[in-house]
Amino acid sequence: MKLFKNFIIIFLLLFSNNLYANENSERNEITKNLRCLICQGQSVYDSDSDFANSMKILVDKKLNEGLSEREIYIYFKEKYGDWILYDPGLNKNTYLLWLLPILIFLFGGAIIFKSSIFKK
Amino acid sequence: MKKKLIPYSIILIFLIIFAVFYKSLKDTNIYTPETKINNDIPIFSADLMYLNQNSTSTEIFELDKFYLLNIWASWCVPCRDEHPILMSLSKNNKLTIIGMNYKDNKKNAKSLLDELGNPYEKIIVDKNGTISIEWGAFGVPETFIIYNNKIIKKYIGPLNQMLFMEIQKTIK
């Protein structure tokens, strides 16, 4: 009896975690990177506005048409500009955004380096 | 040297923070989209209201003609405000007005047109809102001026008397 119980427990443990991520994982991944333009501070994935819901349908449609994730981003960028992407590429409008952290890091590093030399 | 470096860098950091905050104090925190114009119109096919037929963008928009595409819905209050302006624009025979009914109930849409008049030559039905996204629209109401399959002007929000004059000037 005990063996049987253990067997059942093991059986349940083995097969109970068969929960797959939902089928829309690719769509969710893409919509998380798209900004909902009419709601502030929300991604298309988070938002339930009319605009976001239509975007989700369109992303599904584009995926069915066989477009890759990158192609979908380019498609929306052409329509709405850089702002729609949460991860904008490096261009003349965004270079400060990308380079500022590096500059701050170098500046801080220089201060630490200098002060450690003076300590010696 | 070390004694000087710290106060100087603190002052510098505060100045930078001050400059950033001072600049963003004047900026509006509502995002106003840069209107992307001179884009080609999207290729799509959609149902038409009243005609009960499917039509493609190339059938609707011919070359060498001015078109005004207006996205509207019966539930949209500002659309009612701009309706008289669309009515007077429809009297201009140089301009063809195409409507796009956005996420609407067919019955409500028709009763609005019965009440206020129908300025549209054709009405594209955008049941789930995807066609207007392909146009790069944000919501209702929104208006595009199209010439030779290119979007030459785009107005977000309801039309007013000033824009009415501007449109009249554009299509002259």
Q: Supply the ipTM of this predicted assembly.
A: 0.72
Which residues in chain B touch residue A57, judged by CB atoms under 8 angstroms apart? Answer: 128-130
Contacts of B130 in chain A (CB under 8 A): 54, 57-58, 61
Q: What's residue B121's pLDDT?
A: 92
Counting one residue from A and one from B, how many pairs have CB atoms under 8 Å apart?
A: 55
Q: Is B134 helix (H, G, I), strand (E, B) or coil?
A: helix
In this predicted model, which residue has the larger pLDDT, B171 or A1?
B171
Residues 6+ apart with CB under 8 A from A105: none
pLDDT of residue B120: 93
Positive or negative torsion for Cα A36, A37, A38, A42:
positive
Q: Among A36-45, A90-99, B25-34, which stretch is predicted with the lowest mean pLDDT?
A: B25-34
Q: Which residues pair with B55 in a beta bridge?
A: B46
Of the CA atoms within 13 Å of residue A55, those in its CB half-sphere come to 32
**pLDDT at position B71:** 94
Nearest-Cα residue of chain A relative to residue B102: A50
The average pLDDT across A93-115 equals 88
Q: Nearest-CA residue of chain B relative to A108?
A: B9
- What is the per-residue pLDDT for B50? 86
> Mean per-residue pLDDT for B133-157?
88
How high is the mean pLDDT of chain B?
87
- The verdict on domain B45-170 having CATH code 1.10.101.10 is no
pLDDT at residue number A22? 57
Indicate yes or no: CB of B138 within 8 angstroms of CB of A51: yes
CB-closest option in A54, A81, A83 to B128: A54
A20 or B88: whose pLDDT is higher?
B88
CA–CA separation, B140 and B162 (whole Å): 19
Could you read off the pLDDT of B14-44 as tens digits, one per residue? 999 999 888 888 776 555 556 666 778 888 8
B87-125 as b/e: b if 16+ CB within 10 A: eebbeeeebbbbbbbbbbeeeebbebbeeeebbbebbbb
Is the Cα torsion angle B157, B132, B61, B107 positive or negative in sign?
negative
Using a pLDDT cut of 90, give the percent of chain B over it.
47
Q: What is the mean pLDDT of residues A2-16?
A: 82
**pLDDT over 70 for what percent of chain B?**
92
Q: Which residue has the higher pLDDT, A39 or B67?
A: B67
CB contact under 8 A, B33 and A83: yes
Q: Which helix (H) or strand (E) holds B155?
A: strand B150-156
Asked if A53 is an interface residue toward chain B (Cβ–Cβ < 8 A), one would say yes
Which of the two residues, B103 and A12, has the higher pLDDT score?
B103
CA distances from A19 to A7, A16, B41, B112 (A): 21, 8, 44, 49
Contacts of A78 in chain B (CB under 8 A): 36, 39
Q: Where are the domains of chain B?
A: 45-170
Is the CB of A37 less than 8 angstroms away from the CB of B31? yes
Three-state SS string over A51-116 comes to: HHHHHHHHHHHHHHCCCCHHHHHHHHHHHHCHHHECCCCCCCCCHHHHHHHHHHHHHHHHHHHHHH
Rounded CA-CA distance A7/A105 in Å is 57
